[in-house]
C-alpha cells in the first residue's frame, strides 16, 4: 500500500508539474509574440495547443506569421510544432509542415516546400538561452519564386555546433543532388551542357563571432563574424570542380582580410561561368584567362589551377589579378 501511495503521489506531482510547465510554455510563446508586436514587428498566430503528456511538451502554433520591418524579412507557414522533453525545454525540436512556407525579403518572396523538414536547438540553461548546437535536416526540398523552381535537392543537412570558446561555432552544410534552375544551367554552361544536379556540394568551417548566439540574437542584434576558418568547400558539377580552404579575419565594417586557397579543375569553364553570372566584369575576362593560363601551364597542367583568392584593404584579388571591391560580411 505504501508503494502504491508513493507512486500515486509521484504521478500527481509530475502531472501538476507537466500541466504547470505546459501552461508556462504556452504563455511564454504568447508573451514572445506580444513582445515582438510591441517592438514594431508583425507577429501573429491563430492559436496554441500543447500535448505530449507525460514525457514531452509538443506545442503547435497555428498559422504563425513574423515580419521584421527593419530588416525587411518575413516568414509564414501553416503551422510550426515545438517538441521538447518535459524535464528540460532547452532541447527543442522544431517540425515544419510539408506545405508551402513563404520567406520574403522586402518585395521578393520565396516559396519553400520540404519533406521531413525539422530543426533541433540545444540551449544552455539560463535567461539568455545560449545556443549550444543547431541543425536543420530535410529530405526532398525546393525553393521556388514566381512559380518556377529556383533551387532544389534530394536532401539537406545544415549544422552549427558551439566549441569550447562560447562565441565560436563549427558550421557544416551538405546538399545531395543539388539542382539550380534550368535557366541558370543554360546561362552558366561553358563548352558542354551542365548536368541537372551537382555531384558534390559541401562546406565545413569554424566561425568566431563577436558574441555567442542566444535569444537576444533574434530579438536585438545579430552576432557578427570576426574570424573564419574554412576547412573545406567542395563543389563538383559535371566536369567542373572547385575546392577551397583558408582563413579570414573580418573587421567592424564587415571587410575580410586573409587568403583562400583555390583548386579548380577545368578552370576556363569556371571563368566563363563567373562572367555570365556577373561576378567577373566582361572587360576583365580575357586578361584573367591569359594570366591564369600562364599560371596553370607553369604548374604543368593547363586544365587545372591552384591559386589564391586574397582579401586586403577592402579589395579582392585572384592571384596577381585585382577583381574589385571585397564583399562586406555582415549578418542583418
pLDDT tens column, 99-157: 999 999 888 899 999 999 999 999 988 878 899 999 999 999 999 998 888 899 999 99
Please, which pLDDT band fits residue 318 given cuts at 50, 70 and 90?
Answer: confident
Neighbouring C-beta atoms of residue 271, cutoff 10 Å: 22
Q: Residue 101, Cα to own-chain centre: how many angstroms?
A: 16
pLDDT at residue 189 in the model:
60
The pLDDT tens digits of the residues spanning 64-110 come to 999 988 888 999 999 999 999 998 878 889 999 999 999 998 888 99
Please, which pLDDT band fits residue 8 given cuts at 50, 70 and 90?
Answer: confident
Please, which pLDDT band fits residue 286 given cuts at 50, 70 and 90?
Answer: confident
Write out the H or E segment, with its range, that includes residue 112: strand 108-114
Q: How far apart are CA 60 and CA 48, in angstroms?
A: 6
Could you tell me where the DSSP H helices lie in the chain? 2-38, 182-188, 215-219, 267-277, 282-298
The pLDDT tens digits of the residues spanning 212-247 come to 999 888 777 899 999 999 999 999 988 888 999 999
Please, which pLDDT band fits residue 275 given cuts at 50, 70 and 90?
Answer: confident
Give domain limits for the chain. Answer: 1-89, 118-325
Q: What percent of the chain has pLDDT over 70?
A: 96
Comparing 11 with 244, the larger pLDDT belongs to 244
Comparing 254 with 288, the larger pLDDT belongs to 254
Long-range Cβ contact pairs of 55-60 (< 8 A, separation 24 or more): 55/85, 55/86, 56/83, 56/84, 56/85, 56/86, 57/18, 57/21, 57/22, 57/25, 57/82, 57/83, 57/84, 57/85, 57/86, 57/89, 58/82, 58/83, 59/22, 59/25, 59/26, 59/29, 59/83
pLDDT at residue 301 in the model:
73
Q: What does pTM read for this prediction?
A: 0.83
Angle (nearest 5°) at CA 301 between 295 and 304: 75
pLDDT at residue 208 in the model:
97
Neighbouring C-beta atoms of residue 41, cutoff 10 Å: 18
Q: How far apart are CA 295 and CA 321, in angstroms?
A: 12
Arithmetic mean of pLDDT over the chain: 89
Amino acid at each position: 500500500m505504501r508503494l502504491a501511495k508513493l507512486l500515486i503521489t509521484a504521478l500527481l506531482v509530475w502531472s501538476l508539474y507537466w500541466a504547470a510547465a505546459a501552461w508556462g510554455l504556452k504563455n511564454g510563446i504568447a508573451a514572445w509574440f506580444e513582445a515582438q508586436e510591441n517592438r514594431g514587428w508583425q507577429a501573429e498566430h491563430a492559436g496554441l495547443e500543447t500535448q505530449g503528456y507525460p514525457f514531452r511538451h509538443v506545442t503547435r502554433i497555428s498559422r504563425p506569421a513574423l515580419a521584421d520591418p527593419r530588416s525587411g524579412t518575413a516568414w509564414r507557414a501553416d503551422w510550426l510544432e515545438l517538441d521538447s522533453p518535459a524535464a528540460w525545454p532547452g532541447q527543442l525540436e522544431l517540425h515544419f509542415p510539408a506545405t508551402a512556407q513563404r520567406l520574403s525579403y522586402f518585395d521578393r518572396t520565396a516559396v519553400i516546400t520540404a519533406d521531413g523538414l525539422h530543426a533541433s536547438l540545444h540551449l544552455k540553461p539560463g535567461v539568455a538561452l545560449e545556443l549550444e548546437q543547431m541543425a536543420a535536416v530535410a529530405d526532398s526540398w525546393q525553393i521556388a519564386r514566381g512559380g518556377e523552381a529556383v533551387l532544389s535537392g534530394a536532401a539537406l543537412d545544415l549544422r552549427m555546433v558551439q566549441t569550447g570558446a562560447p562565441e565560436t561555432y563549427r558550421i557544416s552544410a551538405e546538399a545531395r543532388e543539388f539542382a539550380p534552375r534550368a535557366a541558370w544551367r543554360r546561362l552558366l554552361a561553358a563548352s558542354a551542357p551542365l548536368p541537372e544536379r551537382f555531384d558534390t556540394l559541401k562546406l565545413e568551417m569554424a566561425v568566431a563571432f563577436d558574441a555567442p548566439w542566444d535569444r537576444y540574437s533574434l530579438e536585438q542584434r545579430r552576432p557578427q563574424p570576426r574570424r573564419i576558418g574554412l576547412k573545406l568547400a567542395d563543389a563538383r558539377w559535371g566536369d567542373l570542380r572547385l575546392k577551397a580552404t583558408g582563413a579570414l579575419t573580418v573587421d567592424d565594417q564587415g571587410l575580410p582580410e586573409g587568403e583562400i586557397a583555390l583548386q579548380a579543375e577545368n578552370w576556363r569553364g569556371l571563368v566563363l561561368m563567373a562572367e555570365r553570372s556577373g561576378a567577373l566584369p566582361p572587360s576583365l575576362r580575357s586578361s584573367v584567362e591569359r594570366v591564369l593560363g600562364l599560371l596553370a601551364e607553369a604548374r604543368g597542367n593547363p586544365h587545372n589551377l591552384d591559386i589564391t583568392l586574397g582579401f586586403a584593404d577592402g579589395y579582392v584579388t585572384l592571384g596577381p589579378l585585382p577583381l574589385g571591391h571585397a564583399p562586406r560580411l555582415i549578418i542583418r
